[in-house]
Structure 1
Amino acid sequence: MSSQPAGQQWDDIESRRGMGPAVPIAAYAFAVAMSGTTLPTPLYTLYQAQYGFSSLIVTVIFAAYAVGVIATLFLCGQLSDTIGRRPVLVAGLVLAAASALCFLFEGGLPALFAGRVLSGLSAGLFTGSATVAIVELAPERLRGRATLVATVANMGGLGVGPLLAGLLSEYAPAPLGLVFVVNLALVAVAIVGILRIPETVRVQHGAPMRPGRLRVPRSILPTFVPAALAGFAGFAMFGLFTAVTPTYIDEVEGIGNRAVQGAVVFSVFMASTLGQLTMTKVGVRRALPWGTVLLGVGMVLIFCSLLLPSLALLVLGGVISGSGQGLSFRAAVTAVGRRSPPDQRAEVTSALFVACYVGISIPVVGIGALGVATGLRTAGLVFTVCVALLAAATAAWLVRNPAGDEERRPPSD
């Protein structure tokens, strides 16, 4: 069983025309799916006002998403290697639509939790499978560029979600409804597009469909471990911005404009995208440690912004942290993709995302619990110190144990 281009004729056509239509279609679907996961970010203050729950509940709702992601990656991380990329991507989009419907017709906390879990299940199916599908749909000579397309679609989608929700909820009618109607329309277009792209996996009919466990071949652990450490640290920072930053901007900075709140979160994800663009020139070996160094510097600035407080410093720290995360994240995905055996590529990529989403979930619940006891500002100060120290330790570890730039893929264990 192996991952291959859909056919020689398609590959010849794509080689002459560059990426061809399949890669942009898959990237669009990836961006739409990921944007749906961050749509509620600037809306949490509205939900808090409507239902009267604390910042701890906000972080628990957020963590419900991460739990859905991690569970799906564990149970289904290798599924697209078995049944094909397209069925998994379509299933992810259907779950994204179900999540949007939960938020559209929500009537309390149970619907919010259900919507976030469904969103997590969708992201869990998409993160590994879509990344690999985009790379496989590209001609061999453009595979490196396709990795960038995949990671930009991922981060770009995550950034567009809060920006879109912030603008629509602040300046358009039905602040808790219209954005999810728009999301449903975008998802419908994505489903049509995914149904039209070629399959890149030679499916073995009658292959077992039982859940499996994520396995990382022993031979690629020297590459996988530093990549996972960098991913954990970077996504912990994302957890801060997507879960509690809008509430912090509202309560501490006194800025209740949801478009501004969404734009701040958007700037962090766009900085991540720009960081990814620089990785090719920097190289995997240097991008991983230097990305975590930038992440640590950004967290120090965020610490100062909480101490003063200062929105300008918060944005600057977020942009620097985001650029560092993007630099190290693309390097991590590239290194792991290069070293993974072809028939385990989605499985290993999913394992990498498990490490990332553990980073985006557990620390955020901690900041919510600490915020109830000490206040959101104090909790943020503690959190930023912890992430800065983690980034510094990860950078030091990466300097001593670098992930190489080599293209060679070892055999599967």
Structure 2
Amino acid sequence: MPPYAPAAEAPPLPAADTAPAPSRRWIWLAAWPVVAVLALSNEPAPLYVLWQRQLGFSSATLTLVYAFYIAGLLGTLTVAGTLSDRYGRKPVLLPGLGLGVAAGVLFMTAHSVPALSLARLLSGVAVGAFLSAGLAAVSDVADRADKRLAGLVASSSMVGGAAVGPLLTGVLSETLPGPSVTVFAVQIALLLAALPVVLRMPLPQRARAGGAAGGGRWIRIPNAPRANRRQLLLGLAVFAPGIAATGFVLSLGPSLLAELLHTSSRILSGATIFVLFAAATGVQFAARRLRTRTDLLTGAALTVLSMALLVLAVAATSVAALLASAVLAGLGQGLSQLGGLTMLAADVPAGRLAEANAAFTAGGYLLAGVLPVAAGTLSDATTLTTGTTVFGVTVTALVAAGALAVIRGTRDS
């Protein structure tokens, strides 16, 4: 993602902490709404095969539905981080919860591709709000000494929610009547349970700017402060290809699994995605004492291994290789995400942290939207095997280049 230089960058707005320092438990409590909303991000994935059969759409259409999610997320990240840093986290988080509920209702009643696309769009908006303001809120409630813990909890809450959603979908949709209705009724309940936590977060109040003219543009490409842009770009160089790899599993993974196993089991596809993101969550706790440079380089190596196994899986029609590829993709994303978010949480001023998180997330999800859609289009024009192979080779080249940039651009810190 290229650096962005506004014509006149406004200084960070002061933050006045009007409450006593919150206890460490608020780091964990503040992460709960992030988990609840991020569950919505991946919950539709196991149902794609069902919707595809009912509505009769192609692999390219399936990835385009996923692209609506990416569009909503990226569009939100252009404004959510700036608004959150300027006016506070809650004015962004509360509408995000409301749009998440609206997306759940649409998923419950969707009987057409446009309805699914709109639901995906709204879920992307909700997730974008929490990937900027929600992750920053976790850091806000932490003391300076707990910033690394806050970075770990914020990053793991993101992938933890992403892990829980598809497993919940797979189990509920196979064991209870009304697959989509049951799943999203439970999801709406989770979002409503997160509401009191958001309302009670002991967050600092920010000085209000006098409108857009008083503090710069509201809608702009999110970025980190100039002093931190090198860190942002180095993190993205590894994280973006890593999350593109997991995006492939989310969009085309169930179709590939069905082709290899000749089954459309939603429990199996949901469990595959759960294992991917559970690996991404677990590895962050296991690596919590590693240096950020080590996180990024190890994440890059694991992503390369994941893509090698993905190509092997389709060439040899090996389910074991496909599952191993999914796990390694999760490990790679988890480590690269932890490294990037930890660098930002440790060094970016609080008044720009939500925007920096938004820039990091936007850069990753932009690639995660483009590459799977391209792979789906190529798969329709040729075969799923060809599309998957080209995707794997492309991600390998990108993440190798990112690792080289990290080696050249960082010290062992």
Which of 186, 199, 203 lines up with 2:190 in the alignment?
Answer: 186
Q: Which residue of 1 aligns with 2:179?
A: 175
1:324 aligns with 2:335: no
Task: For residues 216-271 of structure 1, give each alpha carbon's deviation from its aligned partner in whole angstroms, at most 9, with x where no partner exists.
Answer: 33322221111111121111111111101011111232132110110011111111
Q: What is the alpha-carbon distance in structure 2 between the residues aligned to residue 404 and residue 181 of structure 1?
A: 47
Q: What is the alpha-carbon distance in structure 2 between the residues aligned to residue 249 and residue 136 of structure 1?
A: 41
Aligned residues with identical type, % of pairs: 32
Decide whether aligned partners of structure 1 residues 3 and 337 sit closer, same or farther in structure 2, where only a CA change above 3 A counts.
farther
1:338 aligns with 2:349: no
Which of 274, 285, 290 lines up with 1:266 in the alignment?
Answer: 274
Q: CA RMSD in A?
A: 1.7
Give the superposition deviation at 1:2. 4.1
Q: What is the alpha-carbon distance in structure 1 between the residues aligned to residue 170 and residue 35 of structure 2?
A: 17
1:200 aligns with 2:204: yes
Q: What is the alpha-carbon distance in structure 2 between the residues aligned to residue 5 and residue 137 of structure 1?
A: 13
Q: Which residue of 2 aligns with 1:255?
A: 263
Which of 29, 33, 37 lines up with 1:33 in the alignment?
Answer: 37
1:64-75 matched pairs, under 5 angstroms: 64-75=68-79
CA contact (8 A) 2:19 2:202 kept: no
Q: What is the alpha-carbon distance in structure 1 between the residues aligned to residue 309 and residue 71 of structure 2?
A: 30
Q: Which residue of 2 aligns with 1:105?
A: 109
Which of 143, 160, 167 lines up with 2:164 in the alignment?
Answer: 160
Equivalenced residue count is: 398
CA contact (8 A) 1:35 1:158 kept: yes
The amino acid that maps onto 1:136 is D
Q: Which residue of 1 aligns with 2:9?
A: none
Q: What is the alpha-carbon distance in structure 2 between the residues aligned to residue 68 and residue 352 of structure 1?
A: 16
1:76 aligns with 2:83: no
TM-score of the aligned structures, taking structure 2 as reference length: 0.92
Q: Which residue of 2 aligns with 1:47?
A: 51
TM-score of the aligned structures, taking structure 1 as reference length: 0.92
CA contact (8 A) 2:99 2:126 kept: yes
1:63 aligns with 2:67: yes
After alignment, is 360-369 or 207-216 more displaced?
Answer: 207-216
Structure 1 unaligned regions, length at least 5: 406-413
The amino acid that maps onto 2:139 is V
1:102-141 matched pairs, under 5 angstroms: 102-141=106-145
Q: Which residue of 2 aligns with 1:301?
A: 309
The amino acid that maps onto 1:244 is L
Which of 348, 359, 362 lines up with 2:367 in the alignment?
Answer: 359
Which of 223, 228, 235 lines up with 1:220 in the alignment?
Answer: 228
Which of 7, 15, 34 lines up with 2:18 in the alignment?
Answer: 7
CA contact (8 A) 1:237 1:387 kept: yes
CA contact (8 A) 1:228 1:352 kept: yes
CA contact (8 A) 1:96 1:122 kept: yes
Task: For residues 73-121 of structure 1, give each alpha carbon's deviation from its aligned partner in whole angstroms, at most 9, with x where no partner exists.
Answer: 1133211111111121111111111110111111211110100000111
Decide whether aligned partners of structure 1 residues 245 and 193 sit closer, same or farther in structure 2, where only a CA change above 3 A counts.
same
Q: What is the alpha-carbon distance in structure 1 between the residues aligned to residue 180 and residue 353 of structure 2?
A: 39
CA contact (8 A) 2:16 2:204 kept: yes
The amino acid that maps onto 1:182 is V
1:90 aligns with 2:72: no
Q: Secondary structure at the match of 2:392?
A: helix
Q: Which residue of 1 aligns with 2:3?
A: none
The amino acid that maps onto 1:327 is L
CA contact (8 A) 1:25 1:190 kept: no
Q: Which residue of 2 aligns with 1:381?
A: 389
Q: Secondary structure at the match of 1:102?
A: helix
1:230-245 matched pairs, under 5 angstroms: 230-245=238-253
Q: Secondary structure at the match of 1:176?
A: helix
